[in-house]
Amino acid sequence: MNEITYCPRCGKKLIEQEKFGELRQTCPDPECGFIHFLDPKVVAVVLVEYAGKLLLGRRNINPGKGLWSFSGGYVNRGEKVESAALREVKEETNLDIKLGDLLGVYSDTGNPVILIVFRGYATGIENLRAQDDEVMELAFFRPAEIPKLAFPFDENIVAAWIKAREKDPV
């Protein structure tokens, strides 16, 4: 992921060397000294609820095409995470929502993605419209009716959402 072949600074072919505790692509030219650091990818996720139900979108792209998942997407460099969360919900569902509490942060060893997950509340759903090519269908589900979800963290996130709702219902 995000591998590059040539040094962006001097154009020489990069080699793998141990630097700062990990194998990293580095420039063989000691005068250049370029090291390719791979940063994590931050994803903002929102569990949008309305009338006690959870909004899910059915994915129109791989990975997980045909399976259901939450609204969310990558946080841009320099973008506030909360702003990214609201932007992604708007892009995928056309809803302007109220962002709620942080539900959790999810990451795993060897996985470049860090999920930052919020609760969210729709005040109305008249404007609901799947308007992103990535989502083929949007629907609301009661906690007991939630279908098979697309990604490894999803079951844990739903469990956290159900627990949070019991403590702090809308």
Q: Which residues are annotated as catalytic?
A: 137
Q: Is 32 in the site for Zn ion (CB under 5 A)?
A: yes
Q: 3, 5, 6, 9: which one contacts Zn ion (CB under 5 A)?
A: 9
Number of residues that bind Zn ion (CB under 5 A): 7
Token couple for 14: 């990069």
Question: CB-wise, 11 or 152, nearer to Zn ion?
Answer: 11
CA 47 to chain centroid: 12
Distance CA 146, CA 132 (A): 22
Stretch of 27-35, 43-51, 122-130, 150-158 contacting Zn ion, by CB under 5 A? 27-35
Contact window for Zn ion (CB under 5 A) among 32-40, 66-74, 107-115, 124-132: 32-40
By the rule CB under 5 A, 35 interacts with Zn ion = no
User: Would you give the end-to-end CA distance of the chain in angstroms?
Assistant: 40
Half-sphere exposure of 96 (CA within 13 A, CB side): 0
